Structure 1
């Protein structure tokens, strides 16, 4: 789904100033409050905007270790293992993948010993054949969407 120039400007503001009021967004954009709200509603309905909660830091919550754990699963047990992963609080994301493994999880831990405990818990889940872990050393590009939004906006404007 494409976004137009106004959508791009709205999304930029939401990303750059997430705690600003809708009235202030409308003022900054030079549009009526109703226009802004209609656009926001449309962006939510289309699935472009998927949430509005705060972004939390696992490190600030006492879990500074980040690892990516690849999990190989017994054939036919992917859904069951996926359901079990949802019960492990240290798993902040999990994806079905292609390539070397069946699942890729993003795991946070208090320290390396805690990470080992989490991995042992994963190995013990029914249907898990093996795991492979990669520990992140330093974040080089933080999660971001503004460059993508701007790229999409430029593409739409060029048409």
Structure 2
């Protein structure tokens, strides 16, 4: 299978616009960009097919949902149990992301909790999972750089403009 095509300048402009105005119609995006609606739709379809655009819905504030504590829990797993532990993590609602990693553990999870006691309860649940050897938890104190994609997309557009 061929690797996805690198975004060109128009792709980058489309992505910037999606990030800037996420609730605008395809027709309006096409008008703003000065391209035909069919062209824009074809580009959007390809970007989705290539996995560049992921339809995950709105970004939620877990703090506003009553879970202001954010922690990163590193999990060391017994050899041969990574898939089973990963599947078990998916059943714990407070785990909002989990990644296989190198370094000081096998998995890195992002966990939200109502308070420190709730976080401890979640960690105890993790420790009891079959295949979990140990955990190490880092509690986030303050968000310094919020989730963002725009600076990277702008950089891609500038590179594409120079190459184009």
Q: C-alpha offsets along residues 46-81 of structure 1, whole Å, 9 cap, x if unaligned?
A: 111111511111111111100000001111111111
- Counterpart among 78, 89, 93 of residue 93 in structure 2: 89
C-alpha distance in 1 between matches for 2:88 and 2:129: 7
C-alpha distance in 1 between matches for 2:56 and 2:39: 19
C-alpha distance in 2 between matches for 1:18 and 1:92: 22
Q: Which structure 1 residue ranges, 5 or more long, are not aligned?
A: none
Residue 22 of structure 2 corresponds to 18
The Cα of 1:137 is off from its aligned counterpart by: 0.5
Q: Which structure 2 residue ranges, 5 or more long, are not aligned?
A: none
- Counterpart among 48, 54, 70 of residue 66 in structure 1: 70
Residue 44 of structure 2 is aligned to residue 40 of structure 1: yes
The Cα of 1:151 is off from its aligned counterpart by: 1.1
The Cα of 1:43 is off from its aligned counterpart by: 0.9
Residue 4 of structure 1 corresponds to 8
Residue 33 of structure 2 is aligned to residue 29 of structure 1: yes
User: Is the contact between residue 63 and residue 109 of structure 1 (CA under 8 Å) also seen in structure 2?
Assistant: yes
Q: Normalised by the size of structure 2, how large is the TM-score?
A: 0.94
Alignment of 1:82-121 (within 5 A): 82-121=86-125
Structure 1 residue runs of 4+, over 3 Å off? none
Q: Normalised by the size of structure 1, how large is the TM-score?
A: 0.97
C-alpha distance in 1 between matches for 2:78 and 2:144: 34
- Counterpart among 109, 123, 129 of residue 125 in structure 1: 129
The Cα of 1:20 is off from its aligned counterpart by: 0.8
The Cα of 1:33 is off from its aligned counterpart by: 1.1
C-alpha distance in 1 between matches for 2:15 and 2:108: 29
The Cα of 1:11 is off from its aligned counterpart by: 0.4
